[in-house]
Amino acid sequence: MNFWTFPSLRGVTGGSWVRKPESDHGADVITGLATDTRGLKRGQVFLALRGARFDGHDFLNAAVAAGAPLLIVDNERAVSPALLKDARGPAVLRVRDTLRALGQLASAWRAALETVKVVAVCGSNGKTTTTRLVHAILSQRLRGSASPRSFNNDVGVPLTVLAARAGDQYLACEVGTNSPGEVAALARIVQPDIAVITSVGRAHMENFDSLRAVAEEDAAIFVDLRPNGTAVVPAGEAALADFLKPVPHVVSFGASDEADLRLTSVEHATLADGRAGLRLVLNGRGVFEVPLIGRHNALNAAAAIGVARRMGLDDEAIRAGLLSVTPADLRLQRRTVRGVDLFIDCYNANPESMLAAFQTFSELAAPAPRRVLVLGDMLEMGESAARWHEEIADAAARVGEVASVVTVGEHALRIAERVTRVHPRCRPMILSQLDDNHAQRIAERLQPGDAVLLKASRGVRLERIVEALENLPSVAAVNAA
């Protein structure tokens, strides 16, 4: 039976008709599903979700105007009488809860994708980059798709699955978590053939009481591995050992001798086309290049290579795929704006990702005449927040001589104190929070030739400094305050 029919969608969700479709088929008019009318295409079902600051039921008329043949709602009263009376109007299906219905539809569609190999990517750091690497490589030889942006939660994962096509050969799906139990729920939807854990680190520790708990959460992805499935994991990660015992196939990556894919050499290099990136050697013989900075990205690349080889791709395709990848927004991007060398890494932050950013900045920004650190709080760190910010403060002081340090947030204050103690000539700017005026002031302090690291959790929104620098009226306005 075709999945994208009116009876099928009603059966999967257990809904009831508020307005019946004109036909029981729908396969000739339904082309997929969307939850945002701004991107809805004619033929896509509109499912009305609720969020903290929006209600999809407020956009039913916009969905109709965009050509939705079916509206899925859980608030029947939001459907206007005029819409129901319109003879050309769409069918309307009422369900108990639209978020739950979204998961039900994704689970059913995943079950129908019999020939699609699903690669699920979990972990504390590097999920989005690794997903992009996997997609870039697999697309060299196979048909498939991947999570857009960071679609890794109970909305993004179902939408990623529902966007897959029946004739595809792979789906690279990022799976994230903020709280215990979230990976297990998403694993039941994606039913992966290959499950990657990029790293086990101190992320979202507000909701996890130990690294063991973090590992247990991510390892829940293995429970729903399909028969003969494969786990791709960091070598020597003791916290994962017990959870890997039932897994049929395990491929490990890392720098240790026990790794199946062993990084024997990693260096920053200028690639053949002139871009900056990494050159890495696996097992002493396989040389690969990737246009990403940060030595930690060699581990993400190794994980992606492990997936690709498990999917049957040769090294020629792998090399071409790695070279085709582009950095994800706000994840250790290096950009020059008005002569300022920016290292933009402010999508997320935890101790491990902060330390990796410091290492990269210390290495690549060494020749700059002035180096500037702009650092914000690591959020969701729980009771250990103060201790871990102390650790990061010590590491920031070891980056080397810096001309200025800007900190944003209560805990990041410790970083400014430590850096200025070690580097007395460093000029501090200490902010409790960042607004547009602060971003403007920071941008105006920067000079052409400066190297600047922007690193914080997403909630700090350090990217506003980049926007302020881009919008300065002239190069002459970029000067030291």
Percent of the chain with pLDDT over 70: 97
Residue 15 tokens read as 């809904």
Which contiguous run of DSSP H or E holds residue 299?
helix 296-310
* Number of domains composing the chain: 3
C-alpha–C-alpha distance, residues 387 and 82, integer Å: 59
184 and 87 within one domain: no
- Dig out the tokens for 83 from the structure: 């819409």
Per-residue pLDDT band at 6 (split at 50, 70, 90)? very high
Name 340's bridge partners: 337
Read off the pLDDT band of 22 (50, 70, 90).
confident
Report the candidate in 329, 445, 328, 330 with the shortest Cα–Cα distance to residue 376.
Answer: 330
CB atoms closer than 10 angstroms to residue 382: 13
Residue 96 Cα to chain centre, angstroms: 30
We report the CATH number of the domain holding residue 338 as: 3.90.190.20
413 domain-assigned: yes
Same domain assignment for residues 119 and 88? no
How confident is the model over 434-458, as pLDDT tens digits?
999 999 999 999 999 999 999 999 9
Q: The tokens of 410 are what? A: 């209560």
Polymer length in residues for the chain: 481
Q: Are residues 160 and 300 in the same domain?
A: yes
**Residues paired with 7 in a beta bridge:** none
How remote is the C-alpha of 84 from its chain's centroid?
Answer: 40
The pair of three-digit structure tokens given for residue 386, joined into one six-digit string? 């103060």
Of residues 267 and 82, the one with the higher pLDDT is 267
Check pLDDT > 80 for residue 388: yes
State which of 302, 324, 346 marks the end of a domain. 324
Residues 357 and 450 grouped into a single domain = yes
pLDDT at 476 over 80: no
In terms of domains, do 82 and 168 share one? Answer: no
Q: Which two tokens stand for residue 330?
A: 């706000």
Domain coverage including residue 403? 333-477
Q: What is the pTM for the complete model shown?
A: 0.95
User: Phi and psi for 72 in degrees, rounded to 5?
Assistant: -110, 120
In a domain, residue 385? The reply is yes
First-residue to last-residue Cα distance in the chain: 68
